[in-house]
Amino acid sequence: MQIRAHHIFCIQGFIGKGYSEQFIDNMENIIEKINSCNLLIEVTNTPDCICTACPKLKIIDSQSENAKISPIGCEVETKVKMLDRKVADSLGIDFGKHYLYSEILKKLKYIDEEKFDNICSECQWYSLGYCKKRIIGI
Ligand code: SF4
């Protein structure tokens, strides 16, 4: 399964809230699948199976600055790519490489509050506090 890097954090903090009903259903199905077996995850920095049900996933106009990156993308693709980079660096994982989900969970244990805040503090879901609680226990 392909997962964009910053969604590794989103998966941990998900509590059934999201951008639409379709997004929430899809996210719940993906999380159930990921948790039910130790899936091999291909880490990416492009739209993934979570994005496919998101109302923010757009066809990028050929005039767009993102057109060189992907024919489709998030409406805030540049911003989320930056998050993908930060999460990948913080976990020591690379785009295009495969990891067992259990390996990724082990790497998540090394995320401390400073790293977490540096990556997530500008996210719209940050203030709810669920992600921080689940990822670093605060
Ligand atoms: S399309 Fe954008 S906002 Fe939607 S899930 Fe993907 S990265 Fe997140």
What is the number of domains present in the chain? Answer: 1
Ligand 1 centroid to Cα of residue 74, in Å, is: 5
Domain with 92, as residue range(s), is 2-136
Cβ-count burial of 21 within 10 angstroms (0-12 exposed, 13-18 middle, 19+ buried)? exposed
Contact 58, 79 (CB under 8 A): no
Distances (CA, A) of 128 to 24, 25, 78: 17, 20, 24
Instruction: Give this prediction's pTM.
Output: 0.89
**How many other CB atoms sit within 10 Å of the CB of residue 111?**
19
Give, for ligand 1, the residue of 19, 45, 80 to mutate: max count of ligand atoms closer than 8 Å to Cβ. 80
What mean pLDDT is predicted for residues 115-131? 95
What tokens appear for 8 in the block?
A: 């590794």
How does pLDDT run across 59-79, given as a tens digit for each residue?
A: 655 565 555 555 578 999 999
pLDDT beyond 60 at 113: yes
